[in-house]
Structure 1
Amino acid sequence: MTRFPTDHELVEQYHRQDALRHVVDEIDRHPSLSNWTGSYLPRPLFVDHREIVDFGTDVLRLFELITSLPQRLFDGDLQRYTSTLGIDEQRAKLITSLGGIKPPCYGRADMYHDGTSFKLLEIGIASEVGGADRAGEIPKALMENEAFAKFAADHGLGYTHTGREVAETLREAGRHLSDSPVVALLEGPGGLAGYAAHWNTFRDVMRGFGLDFHVAEVGDVRERDGKLYLGDTGIDVVLRCFTVEEIIGDADGFALVEPVLKAHREGGTVLFTPFESNLFANKGALGLLSDTRHRDRFTADELAVVDRVLPWTRSLKGAASLDDELVTYARDNREELILKPNGYYGGVGVVAGWDTDADTWWKTLKDGVEDGCVIQKRVIPRSEPVRDPQTGAVEPWQAAWGLFYTPRGYAGAYARAVPAFESPVIGVTAYKNTRTAGVFHYGEV
């Protein structure tokens, strides 16, 4: 029987090879990644193939559970569901603009590895999630280095190219309209001023897999006879990268998005991940899943998935008062908890109890009861030893893994990492010293 190395053994063997010391520097110069301005971890991360694929399977099962919450817990009443999550009337109207349809199974799940298993932090059910441009291209670029390619071959390393999986998913989404569907990634109004380089990198990856792919803003398209057009080019699939907040925040936002919604309703263009995805990407949905008061609505197998994957998570929105038992527990267990606003992502508004004094934490909890937040048990990510290419010193880092999923299943991964315990939130937009890492799996047979 073939014996595959462990994560720890792979890292030790990687660090012993001086030929790999500066290999990640070449990623900065790789043509497919040249538009991205971030920085990279000096080595990739390694994970057992079966472990991450199995976790991906659990994420897909969790997706099915989350998207069933309105029916299971609220008898299909979306108004009660959105009210429970703290979604106001204006946002609820936009989020249910297509009648509350179930979104396609696509997004990025963020998780930590606690040294024993992966634990889910958030399940991003949306098409505006970042990283799909890099998740496959970083390993691809590394494999073009002779020394790394030999190391990978010697140790049975492989990877799943996220770009390939996403391209096939978008192609399938528009296949009923065309054998070669045209896809347009649409940013919010003015969004390309800050994200053009990022989305153009993604465009190049998609074109590399044969998609007729374009990047524009939501105000650049026009609807004619139930179909969207970008100039004279008919659009079969819209990859939505404009957010609810961008539309709400623009004086003409609803008018800008209406042609996209109309074309989807009439069947000439598919809006991939409609606004309804925000019904379930909301962190309050995780609170509903984790809440013991609802366990009788799930089977034993379903509860096993929730318990295996999701840390203890509770919504503060349902607290009756500041004397509520849940609020009291949160106040008294500050160092074990992290607070997250329901509707934001990228670390925005996140407050770690262990990194906050008691008075600030209490104020944060009070605001969380009013605004709608979840509290979650702290998950401490395992140490990821990384050798500094300049000094040779091996230093501990910690990583947040991003697992991509599509209707086809597990669609690859990448990671963001920071020096150990340097930041309570690991993310490119949350902390300036965050590095991005490619992910390789081992043990595939």
Structure 2
Amino acid sequence: MSAEWVTAQYNEEFRAPGSVLPRVAQHVKNFPTLVPWHGEYLARPLFVAERELREFSEDLQHLIDILFSLPDRMFGGDLDAFRKVLGITDGRWEAIRRFGDLVPPSFGRADMYHDGTSFKLLETNLGSESGGWALASEMSQATLEVDAFADFARRHRLGYVHPIRAVVEALRSFGARVAPGREPVVAMLEWRGGMRDYGELWLNFQSALRSAGFDILLAEVSDVHERDGALYLGDKKIDVVYRAFVPDQIAEEPGGWDLIAPLLRAHQAGGTLLWTPLSSNVFANKACMALLSDPSWRRTFSEDECRLVDRVLPWTRLMNTDALKADPDLVDECLARRDQLILKVNGRGGGVGVVVGWETDDATWRQALENYAEEGCIVQQRVMPRSELVVDPVSGETEEWHAAYGLFYTPDGCAGSYAKVVPAGSGGIISIAAHAKACSAAVFYQSELPAGAVK
């Protein structure tokens, strides 16, 4: 049975007179740990083949290992040369390097589309500042608590991986270095003003962790102080900081170093550990995907590695002043292929600086290529997401939606998934912030494990 067949069966049962399935989304919305999050939910979960998700996850882990090897492979260990290609400024680089080791743990959320044949990677989102862990966990758990869906899941061998439980295991293992034999005290630290902007997301995160039997404190960098080589929130010693800020905030805010100095001292003394280091942002830089994709950069890759990259990653090219000098025809190629390409600024996230070629005229596209080349950007082949068929619970009509899947990963591997979805044809960027009708959706895989299994 394929995921498409499971979807068809679900939609048929959804339409049946007296079906409880149309109420699933409302149950999710009212789930206690999701109350702090005020977003909307798709009328049904999405379904994928367990084998397909597992194979993509394995490829992703190998690809991240390749990412971590880029400074040595391509630049002979010259970190300064590496960061200049990525367009990392002096201020951001200072913040990254002062916090120590370059290679971070494999922890984050990969974003991908399914093109109807396979998953294609769009971004790696390495680092603990990547969100969605709690939303994914609680949506899936809440959905499975509806008896009608639980019955459907048993009959069709549907299961999920609970991302928050994977976070708990990662934090316990990491925190044991400074808190052997006891539960580590973990504090999530936002930048100054961050709780105002992202508080509902982090309250959702805290609530989900507590539901899984693990507590976490929420604070901003201005709320903590250092004493005797460790970080404190009031009188509470912090063993592990779960980082929710990025190097740009340190470098760009006046007094940024003063705000971060207590954490830096505690981190260097070893009394408080930082999960994850700021170097995660180096390898999450979008230019790394161009280094993987462009044959002119990957001469040190094996044939198997090249096949892996080409299987997972769309055609991606680096666009900066040095790249244009090396390949003067690159702009002309991007102009000719405008309706197939999307532009993304290397060091920005959240859709900031994205220019969608197929939604842009020639003059605007040329200007974007020229302007963003100075800052550093990539151009990437368009991936057309497959249509997800969803029955509207009010009208009964079948609608087409497009999904951006998020795959969570820890050092132990795949840690679950979820999706952001928008109506098909509503724009080239699938974003909760940019679409009034955008929704979140739980993702269940058709498992090879016993029916209804949950990892």
> For this structure pair, what is the TM-score category when the shorter chain's length is used for normalisation?
over 0.9
Which residue of 2 is the match for residue 83 of structure 1? 84
Q: Distance in 2 between matches of 1:196 and 1:355?
A: 33
Q: Distance in 1 between matches of 2:62 and 2:264?
A: 28
Which residue of 2 is the match for residue 61 of structure 1? 62
For residues 194-242 of structure 1, the C-alpha deviation after alignment (integer angstroms, 9 at most, x for no partner) is 2222101101111222223111001111111211111111111111001
Q: Distance in 2 between matches of 1:230 and 1:209?
A: 23
| 1:300 aligns to 2:296 (yes or no) | no
Deviation at 1:62, TM superposition (A): 1.1
With 317-326 and 413-422 compared, the bigger mean Cα shift is at 317-326
- Alignment identity in percent? 47
Q: Distance in 2 between matches of 1:282 and 1:295?
A: 17
5 Å-filtered alignment, 1:125-136, equals: 125-136=126-137
Residues matched between the structures, number: 441
Q: Distance in 2 between matches of 1:51 and 1:322?
A: 38
Q: Distance in 2 between matches of 1:296 and 1:365?
A: 26
Correspondence for 2:234 among 220, 231, 236:
231
For residues 231-269 of structure 1, the C-alpha deviation after alignment (integer angstroms, 9 at most, x for no partner) is 111111111001223223321211111221222222111
With 390-399 and 92-101 compared, the bigger mean Cα shift is at 92-101
What is the DSSP-based 3-state SS (H/G/I as helix, E as strand, rest coil) of the residue aligned with 1:295?
A: coil
For residues 323-353 of structure 1, the C-alpha deviation after alignment (integer angstroms, 9 at most, x for no partner) is 8111110011100100000011121111110
Correspondence for 2:189 among 186, 190, 194:
186
Q: Distance in 2 between matches of 1:429 and 1:74?
A: 38
Q: Is the 8 A contact 1:97 1:276 kept in 2?
A: no
Deviation at 1:306, TM superposition (A): 0.8
Q: Distance in 1 between matches of 2:279 and 2:390?
A: 40
What is the DSSP-based 3-state SS (H/G/I as helix, E as strand, rest coil) of the residue aligned with 1:427?
A: coil
Deviation at 1:368, TM superposition (A): 2.1
Q: Distance in 1 between matches of 2:198 and 2:283?
A: 25
For residues 14-66 of structure 1, the C-alpha deviation after alignment (integer angstroms, 9 at most, x for no partner) is 11123212321111111010010111111100011111112111111111111
5 Å-filtered alignment, 1:369-388, equals: 369-388=373-392
Correspondence for 1:324 among 309, 328, 351:
328
- Counterpart residue identity of residue 35, structure 1: P
Q: Distance in 1 between matches of 2:305 and 2:395?
A: 49
What is the DSSP-based 3-state SS (H/G/I as helix, E as strand, rest coil) of the residue aligned with 1:386?
A: strand
What is the DSSP-based 3-state SS (H/G/I as helix, E as strand, rest coil) of the residue aligned with 1:128?
A: coil
Q: Is the 8 A contact 1:189 1:246 kept in 2?
A: no
Q: Is the 8 A contact 2:315 2:381 kept in 1?
A: yes
Which residue of 2 is the match for residue 404 of structure 1? 408
Q: Distance in 1 between matches of 2:92 and 2:397?
A: 50
TM-score by length of 2: 0.94
CA root-mean-square deviation: 1.4
TM-score by length of 1: 0.96
Which residue of 1 is the match for residue 292 of structure 2? 289
5 Å-filtered alignment, 1:141-156, equals: 141-156=142-157
Which residue of 1 is the match for residue 269 of structure 2? 266
Q: Distance in 2 between matches of 1:380 and 1:189?
A: 38
- Counterpart residue identity of residue 172, structure 2: R
Which residue of 1 is the match for residue 9 of structure 2? 13
What is the DSSP-based 3-state SS (H/G/I as helix, E as strand, rest coil) of the residue aligned with 2:297?
A: helix
Q: Distance in 2 between matches of 1:323 and 1:142?
A: 51
| 1:414 aligns to 2:418 (yes or no) | yes
Which residue of 1 is the match for residue 125 of structure 2? 124
Q: Is the 8 A contact 2:112 2:406 kept in 1?
A: yes
Deviation at 1:440, TM superposition (A): 0.4
What is the DSSP-based 3-state SS (H/G/I as helix, E as strand, rest coil) of the residue aligned with 2:389?
A: strand
Deviation at 1:99, TM superposition (A): 3.8
With 242-251 and 383-392 compared, the bigger mean Cα shift is at 242-251
Is the alpha carbon distance of 1:37 and 1:322 closer, same or farther for their aligned partners in structure 2, counting shifts above 3 Å?
A: farther
Which residue of 2 is the match for residue 359 of structure 1? 363
What is the DSSP-based 3-state SS (H/G/I as helix, E as strand, rest coil) of the residue aligned with 1:296?
A: coil
Q: Is the 8 A contact 2:324 2:330 kept in 1?
A: no
Q: Is the 8 A contact 1:400 1:417 kept in 2?
A: yes
Q: Distance in 2 between matches of 1:290 and 1:330?
A: 16
Q: Distance in 1 between matches of 2:211 and 2:401?
A: 33
- Counterpart residue identity of residue 409, structure 1: G
What is the DSSP-based 3-state SS (H/G/I as helix, E as strand, rest coil) of the residue aligned with 1:392?
A: coil
Deviation at 1:414, TM superposition (A): 0.4
With 17-26 and 326-335 compared, the bigger mean Cα shift is at 17-26
Q: Is the 8 A contact 1:401 1:414 kept in 2?
A: yes
- Counterpart residue identity of residue 384, structure 1: E
- Counterpart residue identity of residue 85, structure 1: L
Q: Distance in 2 between matches of 1:400 and 1:79?
A: 34
Which residue of 1 is the match for residue 452 of structure 2? none
Q: Distance in 2 between matches of 1:419 and 1:50?
A: 27
Q: Distance in 2 between matches of 1:225 and 1:122?
A: 40
Q: Is the 8 A contact 1:401 1:413 kept in 2?
A: yes
Q: Distance in 1 between matches of 2:195 and 2:250?
A: 15
With 165-174 and 292-301 compared, the bigger mean Cα shift is at 292-301
Q: Distance in 2 between matches of 1:28 and 1:72?
A: 48
Which residue of 2 is the match for residue 215 of structure 1? 218
Gaps of 5+ in 2: 14-18, 450-455
Q: Is the 8 A contact 2:246 2:281 kept in 1?
A: no
With 87-96 and 137-146 compared, the bigger mean Cα shift is at 87-96
Q: Is the 8 A contact 1:91 1:248 kept in 2?
A: yes
Q: Is the 8 A contact 2:92 2:250 kept in 1?
A: no
Correspondence for 2:354 among 350, 371, 384:
350
Q: Is the 8 A contact 2:195 2:219 kept in 1?
A: yes
Q: Is the 8 A contact 1:322 1:366 kept in 2?
A: no
- Counterpart residue identity of residue 299, structure 2: D
Gaps of 5+ in 1: none
- Counterpart residue identity of residue 142, structure 1: T
Deviation at 1:322, TM superposition (A): 11
With 230-239 and 292-301 compared, the bigger mean Cα shift is at 292-301
Deviation at 1:100, TM superposition (A): 4.5
For residues 421-444 of structure 1, the C-alpha deviation after alignment (integer angstroms, 9 at most, x for no partner) is 211001213333221000001132
What is the DSSP-based 3-state SS (H/G/I as helix, E as strand, rest coil) of the residue aligned with 1:35?
A: coil
For residues 124-181 of structure 1, the C-alpha deviation after alignment (integer angstroms, 9 at most, x for no partner) is 0011111101111101001111111111111111110001001111111111211210
Q: Distance in 2 between matches of 1:131 and 1:151?
A: 25
